[in-house]
Chains A and B, each alone.
Chain A
Amino acid sequence: MSSRIADRFADLRAAGRTGLVTYVTAGDPDRERSGAILRALDRAGADVIEVGVPFSDPLADGPVIQRASERALASGTTLTGTLDLIESVRAELRAAVVVFTYANPVLRLGPDRFAARAAAAGVDGVLMLDLPIEEGDGFRRTVVDAGIDPIFLLSPTTSDDRIRRAADLGRGFLYGISRLGVTGARAEMAAGVRGLVERIRAVTALPVAIGFGLSSPEHLREVGRYADAGVVGSALVDTIARRADSSGLVTAVEGYVAWLKGDADLAPAP
């Protein structure tokens, strides 16, 4: 059951490194620079790149990603546009690519067409924010048949029983939500996250990435003590938002990710 995602996490474990999963919204700030940003994330050493599909009603997202979604929709980015974007850069990326989406755009396109199109684009995994295990069985089988890893989110409110089901049904890695609430950077890591990872570890050997709230190398080091990887989303998207009008956008993104990875010389400009 080898996949690019599994390979990336196997590399990390072999090297004893903490992985970096980065999130950006497709088409933010526009299609051309979005492609350049995906390349920059890969160059800077992201292990997994989550590509968000812009959606009109991102109810699991905080204000930073909501605004990214608005910018991307305004630039004309759709689900198929997101897959086209991934396809256009896929050959140049070493990182695994995960599509991060709300259910409705995928259901509108049709799960079969989505899976075929995503597989052709070189998508490695898919994560659906508002499609819990109980609603997602048919979809899960469709994407697995297309060779794409279904990735499930686990929260501090998730029961041990459901963690077990997600571990049985998921592929690639499990995404642990560090805290209650929506996406968005926070100053401190949540206290309960270690307990969630321990509950996951008790039932599965699947790699675990922790997200929601991470924004610094310190956060990644902390997460690395118990999880396989950390996810940085809103903080990165905020960097894009602040540099969207600047010619230094792509360099800033690359520098930010290198800083997250521990290259102290590349601290981001305030």
Chain B
Amino acid sequence: MKTTEEKKILLVEDDDNIRLITRTSLEGLTSWKVIEANSGHVALGLADAELPDLILLDIMMPGMDGPTTFSHLKENASTGAIPVIFMTAKVQTQEVEGYIKLGAAGVITKPIDPMLLPEQITSILEVVGK
């Protein structure tokens, strides 16, 4: 996925401010379009309807958390193949390995740097060959 391609990204995050920074960064620096969901439930519906090219998924959310949302996405045939990158403020090595084993494309740690975020995403996707 190149920054100059027109792609659709679903951002799942309960924190308004993080959504704002992520959207500002991605839409400002790339040709990607960002769709936002503020909860896992909303995300499942949007993913199915919009079929985004990538999903950025926060781990710690009230209600349905990131990993649960993730497993529902994978169970659904139409959304199962969409690459998912987890976003979290707290990463321990075993946890990252766990998510990767589950089938996540990668993990981005918060705090995010709005200037570097697009590059981070493209390099994660390069590794998994998307």
Q: Do A and B bind each other?
A: no
* Chain A residues with a Cβ under 8 A of chain B: none
* Chain B residues with a Cβ under 8 A of chain A: none
